Amino acid sequence: MPHNLAKPLSTLLGQIRACTVCESQLVHGVRPVLQASASARILIAGQAPGRRVHESGVPFDDPSGDRLRRWLGVDREAFYDPEKFAIVPMGFCYPGTGKSGDLPPRPECAPLWQDKLHRLLPNVRLTLTIGQYAQNWHLGDKRSKTLTATVQNWRNFWPDILPMPHPSPRNQIWLKKNPWFEGEVIPALQIQIQTLLNASD
């Protein structure tokens, strides 16, 4: 990690992990989950932790994470190395479950922390925006009207940003309807991941 960023990033991560801003709105309590190092070249911008991640405190420690690691072509050791991967969701705490799945990330979280964190991640070369909330934040009005259209237009953002669907098992129908994603996008992603992980500069 760049020496001049080690202390401010460590301080900020401590502040995030101690955050209780949304405590009264979270049925399951606060437990911010993320990982980051100023040396990370790849940023995974997801939505918010699910129930299993809330319980373990480990990002993507669930079936969604298993699929995501297959998409990336990396093992758990590489994935959980903060010097390689920063994992910074839009909401750091589990928001709970609604009628059709997990609730959206708490709206207070991203405005409070995202910009501060990204200023301390200067080496990121590829940002994976997973799901609509991450794409809304990172792509703004450059995104298309639907998540599917945004992902279909992935070459417009490549190789700096890759819009992706969520790897959740609940997204199996989308993946079956859009086989081009795993057929075209994933091979390009895996090549780029290995290029960034093996780069010496």
**Residue in 172, 174, 152 with CA at minimum distance from that of residue 162:** 152
pTM of the complete model: 0.95
Mean pLDDT of the chain: 96
Query: Can you give the pLDDT at residue 55?
Result: 96
Query: Can you give the pLDDT at residue 95?
Result: 96
Above 90 in pLDDT, residue 108? yes
68 touches 60 (CB < 8 A): yes
Residues 6+ apart with CB under 8 A from 9: 1, 36, 37, 38, 120
* Distance from C-alpha of 139 to C-alpha of 50, rounded to nearest angstrom: 23
Q: Which residues pair with 102 in a beta bridge?
A: 97
79 phi, psi to nearest 5 deg? -60, -40
For CA atoms 160, 67, 136, 48, the dihedral sign is negative
Query: Can you give the pLDDT at residue 4?
Result: 86
Q: How far is CA 56 from the centre of its chain?
A: 17
Query: Can you give the pLDDT at residue 146?
Result: 97
Query: Can you give the pLDDT at residue 117?
Result: 98
* Distance from C-alpha of 106 to C-alpha of 26, rounded to nearest angstrom: 9
Above 80 in pLDDT, residue 2? no
Instruction: Provide the pairing of β-strand 42-45 with 97-98.
Output: unpaired
Token output for 147: 């998540």
Query: Can you give the pLDDT at residue 1?
Result: 45
Alpha-carbon distances of 143 from 109, 129, 139, rounded to whole Å: 21, 11, 6
Above 60 in pLDDT, residue 3? no
Range list of H helices, the chain: 3-17, 51-56, 63-72, 76-79, 109-118, 132-139, 147-152, 172-177, 180, 186-198
Place of tokens 């995202």: 114
Per-residue pLDDT reduced to its tens digit, 113-126: 999 999 999 999 99
Q: Which domains occur in the chain, in start order? A: 22-198 (3.40.470.10)
Query: Can you give the pLDDT at residue 100?
Result: 76
Per-residue pLDDT reduced to its tens digit, 41-58: 999 999 999 999 999 999
Least confident of 29-43, 71-85, 98-112: 98-112
